[in-house]
């Protein structure tokens, strides 16, 4: 049994973040440059190593042209 601190809902959130970035045709580096963070920060969010907060999620949603409820169902 795999141990994780993340719930299935959180795993869905990070999956949707990756999907939205790909749909926006942006690389992790491009996203990082546009919101003022490092590429490794974006990588850590998308791999579940770093837990995203609502402010960061809001910035990414705006960049990806998605509503917040796209990520949190």
To the nearest 10 degrees (0 to 180), the angle between helices 39-47 and 28-35 is 120
pTM of the predicted model as reported, rounded to 2 decimal places: 0.88
User: Which ranges of the chain have pLDDT less than 70?
Assistant: 1-5
Residue 32: per-residue pLDDT: 97
pLDDT in tens, 18-30: 999 999 999 999 9
pLDDT in tens, 28-37: 999 999 999 9
Residue 26: per-residue pLDDT: 98
User: Which residue segments constitute the domains of the chain, with CATH numbers given?
Assistant: 8-67 (1.10.260.40)
Which residues, 6+ apart, have CB-to-CB distance to 12 below 8 Å? 73
Using the Cα atoms of residue 8, residue 33, residue 53 and residue 42 in order, give the sign of their dihedral: positive
What is the rounded CA–CA span in Å between residue 1 and residue 65? Answer: 37
Contact yes or no for 13/72 (Cβ under 8 A): yes
């Amino acid at each position: 049994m795999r141990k994780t601190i993340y719930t299935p809902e959180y795993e869905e959130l990070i999956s949707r973040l990756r999907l939205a970035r790909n749909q926006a045709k942006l690389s992790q580096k491009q996203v990082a440059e546009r919101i003022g963070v490092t590429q490794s920060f974006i990588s850590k969010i998308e791999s579940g190593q770093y837990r995203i907060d609502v402010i960061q999620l809001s910035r990414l949603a705006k960049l990806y042209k998605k509503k917040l409820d796209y990520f949190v169902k």
